[in-house]
Amino acid sequence: MQFQQLLYFVAVAETRHFTRAAEQVHVSQPSLSQQVRALEKELGAELFSRARGNIALTDAGEALLPLARRILADADTARIEVQELAQLRRGRVRLGATPSVCTGLLPQVLRDFHDRHPGIQLLIEEGGSHDLVRHLARGALDLALVVLPLPTPSPALTTVELLREDLVVVSSPDAAGLGASARVADLQGERLVMFRHGYDLRELTVAACARRASSPNSPSRAARWTPCSASCARGSASPSCPAWSRSARTAVCA
């Protein structure tokens, strides 16, 4: 059973005339009649009574008509929905992002995206780069904004570098020991609040310190930016973050 056969059948059923039905669906009358005959042969029943030139639905035709209309309507709905998805008029996107990206980059990007594509629903999941990549690999996310490099990149995923930024240390205005700029060596002995294991900023900070034979003094850990910034505001510890995050912080970056 072919889609076109159902289309031709419905056209004949509604016009009760093969020639007018052929004109309606823009095919020749012999082609339409041939396809209707082929449909009847496949179903094993006549769909129209053609006695004395009068076209009428048989019992089989009456039974098929609402089903055929439903199939054609569903096909139209499917076409419209796919076109809307392809043209970004409607749909859903599951986006993963690291905490620093969520606070530093996403707010303005999301506003611009919603202005351009109001019918697209964005579902945001915050997490460390390692966790987000695992979620991508198993299909729980459509895309993710992560911090590179990844220690174990998945061959099934495509990675595109979007931008590069320096790593900075955030401190309270009255913090001592850090000036307008700081090197990794200057962090020796400084109290740093670190993200939990698996978060990219922690791994980057630890790796940078290790390259200079030092280790960060991290009295506390956190999984979100809020407790990190609270520790910074109290002057008890300083978190590290990408330079893009400075515009989203109320503390002073050094």
Which of 96, 94, 95, 100 lies closest to 223, judged by CA?
100
Which of 142, 145, 147, 164 lies closest to 97, judged by CA?
145
For the segment 62-121, what is each residue's pLDDT rounded down to a tens digit?
Answer: 999 999 999 999 998 888 878 877 777 778 889 999 877 887 788 888 888 888 888 888
Tokens standing for residue 162: 């979007």
Q: Alpha-carbon distance 69 to 50, whole Å?
A: 22
Same domain, residue pair 82 and 111 = no
For the segment 131-157, what is each residue's pLDDT rounded down to a tens digit?
Answer: 888 898 888 999 999 888 776 667 788
Domain membership of residue 131 (yes or no) is yes
Domain that holds residue 132: 91-145
Whole-model pTM?
Answer: 0.52
Domain membership of residue 159 (yes or no) is no
Domain membership of residue 156 (yes or no) is no
Same domain, residue pair 193 and 131 = no
Same domain, residue pair 76 and 107 = no
Same domain, residue pair 82 and 19 = yes
Same domain, residue pair 79 and 111 = no
Domain membership of residue 161 (yes or no) is no
Domain membership of residue 238 (yes or no) is yes
More confident residue, 191 or 15: 15
Domain membership of residue 115 (yes or no) is yes
Same domain, residue pair 248 and 180 = yes
Same domain, residue pair 198 and 228 = yes
CATH code of the domain covering residue 107? 3.40.190.10
Same domain, residue pair 21 and 63 = yes
